[in-house]
Structures are given as structure tokens and as C-alpha cells.
Structure 1
């Protein structure tokens, strides 16, 4: 089953314009739906909500109505999943508090995993298993060579014919957003070898 999709920004079809700089996140007409305190709050946080989007997709895949994006971000912040820094920056998503939240709130077995080869993800996502994987955000353009690995989260939910299938919360086109299919070798160029494993 393909999980429902959630993006980092409420207007998925406008993600490309936001990333290209042609649209401010604060001008997303659907921002009130996120639960943000205001347009400026939405703009400050949306860049950091790939993990929140992945967690919401995990819940939706199990038939659970997920919290609004900012309600979840606030809950995770209270648990140490995000850290508000003195300079105004936001650090996170931090995996361990997010995994603990899934287990404690919804009873979903979640484990922080490091040193997981890309080739091992296929076994993890068999059945109802899923994997929130750390990748470089340029994975939305798989033909390029990423400058590094990690820094962004995607939800891998299946594997088929040597490819991993995933939703990308910051995909800038329909093809780079939902049910993206990349050969394991291509995925590996962006992948940092870590993430959160969700049992089926």
C-alpha cells in the first residue's frame, strides 16, 4: 500500500516555487492548516519539517489521523526532538525522541538505526515495515552528484525490481514527490546510512 503523502509545506504543488525562491513560504495560502502560530512562524519552521512530514505519513499509513504539522513539531520539541538554538536556528529532527514518541503515543515499534547499508533497506520495508532515511535534499534531482549525504528525511515504504520506493516531503515536482522509485545504487549516493526503522 502506498502511504498518503504529506509535504513540508501545506501546498504540495507550490513546493517547487518555494524552493526556487519564486514564492515565500509565508505566502503559501494553506499555511493556517498547519497549525503554525502565524505566517512568519510557518516560514521559519517549514524548512525543518521533513521529519514531521515523514512521521505523519507513517501514522496515516496505519489509518491514524496524524496531528497537524505544527502541533506535532511542538510536541516533539517538548520531548527534545527539536532544539531551538540561541541564534534562532532549529536543530532536528533528532531521531531518538521521535522514535520514542511513536512507541509511547501510538505503540508503533520504532528503532534508531545507524550504519545501515542502502542494500539492507529493502528487507526493512518488506511487509508493512517502513524506513525514514537520511538523504541529501538534492535527491529530488537524482541525475546530479550530491555534495554530501544526509540532511533531509524521506519515507521509504517499499522496494521492487532493485529500486526503493519513497515519498519525499520536499519533492519539487509530482515525479520527485510521491512514490519516487530509485535504484538502490542511485539512492545510495544521497543516503547517509541512518534513519528510523518502523516495524510492520
Structure 2
């Protein structure tokens, strides 16, 4: 399999607005209510930011794709709100947020942004180079501990990263919840990526 062709530079965005303080947020040293940059998220108020910011890894991936394609930076929470009528997230009565739900997301990005994308399931890590040879990007479901690649995750999936390149040897990705130093253009051996990867995601197709 040929390696993924060279890509345009993809801007990085963290799902939390203070990307340089992501480590503090992860370690719970900085409460989201005290994120000084929360207004940049597009949240209508602080409560909305606190409720949503840890659920919008998929919207951060979309934000990166749109910025790479168009040069326009869409506020993350504005993207999330736009997806709600499509059912890309479900808010339960108890306040629990479920999502990103892939099929409604695919419809949302097609209707609003003209993006062609496909839900992919039962897709082993070994097949990622082939997928990336036919796609611009792949939003991959991984365990959040991928930010600590030496760790052994308790399960796979639960978080989305934006894969920008894949070869038979390694996967390169942007991690919306990475700590500084493990956020943009992270490269992991394919086998290590596979320990966190749940075998599913959304392929963003060319054009």
C-alpha cells in the first residue's frame, strides 16, 4: 500500500479553549469554569461551556478540517449547537450528553458544509493506510489515554482524534484533548495506535 499523500498543513484546535493549559484541565488542577478563554468557544454562557467542553472532541476535529479547507475558524460550541437538530448529540433528562453520533453527524456536515463523509465500522488499524489513501482525514474513535501512549487503556474508544496520515508503520493525528507536547501531529506506531483504537470512525472524503 502506498503511503498517504502529503497533506496541507492542518491547524490544531483543542476541545478546551486554553489549549496550553490542557494538562491542568486533565489533571483537574484547572476547573473548566475557570478557563479564561471560554468565550472563544462560542458558548452562550459559562455554564454551557462547562457542560459541553469535554464532549466536543468531534467538533474540534470538524473545526480543524474546516479551517484546513477554507481558512475559516468556526467556534467549537457553535458547531456543536448546529449539529443538535440533526441528532449528532443527545441531551438526556439528567443532563448526560451522548455523542458524537456518527450518522447524524455525516448528514450535518453534508448539509451545512458540503463535506462528503462516511461512517466506518469494523475497520482494523491495519486498514487505516488504505482508508487514508482514499480520504482526506479520518476521525478515529480511540481511548482518551492515547495522550499517554505508554499506558494500557482499560478499553478502546470514547474519544475522537483527527488522523491526517497513515502508513503501514505509523499513524499521525491531532488530538483535541492532548496535553501540550502531545496535541498536534502526534505520530504513533500503527500497533500502538491500535491498542487505543476502537475500529470505527468517520472518513472525510476529498472534495
Give me the TM-score of the superposition, normalised by structure 2: 0.92
The answer to whether residue 166 in structure 2 is matched with residue 163 in structure 1 is: no
Aligned residues: 199
Range with bigger deviation, 20-29 or 148-157:
20-29
Which of these residues, 90, 103, 106, is aligned with residue 83 of structure 1? 90
Conserved? CA contact 1:166–1:178, under 8 Å: yes
Partner residue of 1:11?
18
In structure 2, the residue matched to 1:199 is 205
Q: TM-score, normalised by structure 1?
A: 0.95
2: distance between equivalents of 1:162 and 1:151?
Answer: 24
Secondary structure of the corresponding residue to residue 101 of structure 1? helix
Root mean square deviation, CA, Å: 1.4
The structural deviation recorded for 1:123 is 2.0
What per-residue deviation string (whole Å, max 9, x for no partner) do you get for residues 119-156 of structure 1? Answer: 11112223762100000000000101100000000000
The answer to whether the Cα contact below 8 Å between 1:2 and 1:179 also exists between their aligned partners in 2 is: no
1:179 paired with 2:185, answer yes
1:46-72 deviation line (CA, Å, top 9, x unaligned): 110101101111111212514211111
Instruction: Report the Cα distance in structure 1 between the residues aligned to 2:27 and 2:68, rounded to whole angstroms.
Output: 30
Higher normalized contact order (CA 8 Å, seq sep 6+, divided by chain length): 2
Question: Measured at CA, do residues 101 and 64 of structure 1 come closer, stay the same or move farther in structure 2, by a change above 3 Å?
Answer: farther
Structure 1: gaps of 5 or more residues:
none
Alignment of 1:18-37 (within 5 A): 18-37=25-44
- Unaligned segments of structure 2, at least 5 residues: 1-7
Give 4+ residue runs of structure 1 displaced > 3 Å after superposition.
none
